[in-house]
Copies of this chain bind each other. A is one copy, B any other.
């Protein structure tokens, strides 16, 4: 990938766009670009000395393998999101990122390099700081949900959230392009496949939504009422 393309990518990035063009050009030199098709694995937690990735295009799943060998979907990330090793502590288990949309583009730096840039660029530092705060909040939220809400509620809130991010509104329904299996959804809301399946069917019976393997159609307002 040529420098101009890199430049353009970074220039439009929500974190990087505070940098001057000279600084951007410098970053371009240390950046590594990567593209992947659906199903391809983008990164492994252990294979490289810690790198940070930013997702330029597409959607990815962050998956972790637990002690028993089960795959747990930890997160779904979209354009602009950061992933990889931000923290020094490297005791993370097997973790990898896999493309779920047809095409994915992302770029990465070595954490050390990124730190050097931060050190020389206070505005970026501040922004990075805020981004982390945001992340912290999100995790805290998830944690609270897990403690106080039952599976049904967690599923409904998950759907609401998803719909607000990626849903296409039509007359009286919201359409979601579904790239997740019930299993995936289950691990995102900390439940089991079977429970998710039967909740989906329950919601379908109640007329709240309809679904196939590739699409979820939410009747407008139906979710809000729950």
Does A129 belong to the interface (CB within 8 Å)? yes
Within 8 A of B (CB), among A97-141: 115, 118-123, 125-126, 128-130, 132-137, 139-140
| Contacts A119-B123, A146-B143 given; does A136 touch B134 at CB 8 Å | no
Q: Measured between C-beta atoms, what is the minimum distance from A106 to chain B in Å?
A: 20
Determine chain A's interface SS by DSSP, over half rule: helix
Does A160 belong to the interface (CB within 8 Å)? no
Does A89 belong to the interface (CB within 8 Å)? yes
CB atoms of A122 and B123 under 8 A apart: no
16 inter-chain pairs at a CB distance below 8 angstroms, sorted by A residue, are A66-B148, A86-B133, A87-B136, A87-B137, A88-B133, A89-B134, A115-B126, A118-B122, A119-B125, A119-B126, A125-B129, A132-B132, A135-B136, A136-B139, A139-B139, A142-B143
Known: A118-B122, A139-B140, A143-B146. 9 other contacts (CB 8 A): A87-B130, A87-B137, A88-B130, A89-B134, A89-B137, A115-B126, A118-B129, A122-B122, A132-B132
Instruction: Give Cα distance in the complex from A125 to B86, angstroms.
Output: 14
CB atoms of B147 and A143 under 8 A apart: no
Does A190 belong to the interface (CB within 8 Å)? yes
Question: Could you say which residues of chain B place their CB within 8 Å of the CB of A135?
Answer: 136
CB atoms of B122 and A132 under 8 A apart: no
CB atoms of B136 and A136 under 8 A apart: yes
